[in-house]
A = this chain, B = another copy of it.
Amino acid sequence: MKLNILKDDLNESIQHVSKAISSRTAIPILTGIKIDVQPNGVTLTASDTEISIQSFIPPEKDGTAAVEIITPGSVVLPAKFFTEIIKKLPSRDVTIEVKENFLTWIRSGSAEIQIVGLDPEEYPLLPQLEENEVLNVSSDLLKAMIRQTTFAVSTSETSPILTGVLWNFSQDRLKLIACDRLRMASRESHIDSNNSLNFQNIVIAGKSLNELNKLLPDQNMMVDIVVANNQVLFKMDTILFYTRMLDGTYPDTSKLIPQSFQTELTIDTRKLADAIDRAYLLSREEKTNIVKMTLKDENTVEISSSSSELGKVKEEIDAHTLSGELLSISFNSKYMLDALKVIDSDYIQICFRGAMQPIIMKPEDHSNMLHLIMPYRTTG
């Protein structure tokens, strides 16, 4: 294997795949990045068995040569050292050549590096997915849907299925749900699928989705989603992102949502978030995060927290509209802030069924998103 390549292109591609490198892995070859050089381009692969990422560098980019392939072949190079040394090479041109026993020579300007490579035959094969049914989603929408749900997954391994986000697609509606017993976030959207595509109970680890989100481009483009066996593949322009599905059956969360309410409030999203943020500062010091919302009259919402050691924070905000019974309810302010942060609408609707019942929050201008937060049972 021998090729000339531009440092910046190689570097960019390494950055893409390196998100799948785990420093602690039971499979030593997975500490490496696999490089495949074929006449049609260069493919880099990294995997931590949960996720696998491939990044492709075509011979030409925007009409200028990026890669000159001299001899096809492949090798696995230790990820950490390879990543760092490529970043710091002195010239924009890099020559990589694999010699006997996978000893790999890297030359750039006056620098000459030999890296002990590994046999690419030992590198695990990526899953082969049948691409009969492909869902085509815009990357901006995908990014928003992931951001608006993934924060709510459980971080506890006692119910592994809750560390993932549930993906359902039927009747051209994609719905994502994350839930950790004390809160829930769901987001749905209409997506044209042009066929009878339909999948249920696809659960993808929140950690994997966070990595995927970093790879989704700043500029909007279409992403193909392929679901097959126990894998989901997200296909971007030059990047393939594979993730394993979590085993198990995701609980039915629809039962959590009350069907009728005693009180409905609409309020300025930003003002509420800022007031809760201040009250949170105090409650965080107490390590409880408890903040109280009191509906004082049909125009006034009071946000407060108090700590015997530190003091009190209190603030009144105008309600935009308020109907139904007045009440006082305590909740985990961190959870409330997480939800408010991902609601892009100017006003939100908050529905209450009583101080001991779940709080339901929706953007005021559409019903594609729903957040649920369990209240604290306090005596206050």
Chain A residues engaging chain B, CB cutoff 8 angstroms = 78, 80-81, 84-85, 88-90, 103-104, 110-116, 274-275, 277-278, 281-282, 285, 309-317
* Cβ contact within 8 Å between B281 and A311: no
Chain B residues closer than 8 Å to A311, beta-carbon distance: 81, 103-104, 113-116
Docked CA distance A285–B31 (Å): 13
* Cβ contact within 8 Å between B274 and A90: yes
Chain B residues closer than 8 Å to A314, beta-carbon distance: 111-113
* Cβ contact within 8 Å between B81 and A282: yes
Chain B residues closer than 8 Å to A103, beta-carbon distance: 311
Nearest CB of chain B from residue A251's CB, rounded to whole Å: 37
* Best-buried of A80, A113, A114, A311 by chain B (most CB within 10 Å): A311
Residue ID in chain B nearest A104 by CB atoms: B311
* Cβ contact within 8 Å between A85 and B116: no
Residue ID in chain B nearest A87 by CB atoms: B281
How many copies of this chain does the complex contain?
2
* Cβ contact within 8 Å between A81 and B285: yes
* Cβ contact within 8 Å between B111 and A310: no
Contact of A310 among B89, B115, B278, B317 (CB under 8 A): B115
Chain B residues closer than 8 Å to A277, beta-carbon distance: 88
Chain B residues closer than 8 Å to A114, beta-carbon distance: 311-313
* Cβ contact within 8 Å between B85 and A313: yes
Chain B residues closer than 8 Å to A310, beta-carbon distance: 78, 81, 115-116
Docked CA distance A89–B279 (Å): 11
Given A115-B311, A116-B309, A281-B88, the answer on whether A110 and B78 have CB atoms closer than 8 Å is no
Nearest CB of chain B from residue A83's CB, rounded to whole Å: 10
Residue ID in chain B nearest A89 by CB atoms: B278
* Cβ contact within 8 Å between B113 and A312: yes
7 contacts between A and B (CB under 8 A): A81-B285, A88-B277, A112-B313, A113-B311, A113-B312, A114-B313, A115-B311
Chain B residues closer than 8 Å to A312, beta-carbon distance: 112-114
Docked CA distance A199–B114 (Å): 53
Given A80-B285, A285-B80, the answer on whether A278 and B313 have CB atoms closer than 8 Å is no
* Cβ contact within 8 Å between A85 and B315: no
Chain B residues closer than 8 Å to A78, beta-carbon distance: 310
Nearest CB of chain B from residue A90's CB, rounded to whole Å: 6
Nearest CB of chain B from residue A162's CB, rounded to whole Å: 31
* Cβ contact within 8 Å between B309 and A84: no
Nearest CB of chain B from residue A168's CB, rounded to whole Å: 38
Nearest CB of chain B from residue A268's CB, rounded to whole Å: 12
Contact of A315 among B104, B111, B275, B278 (CB under 8 A): B111
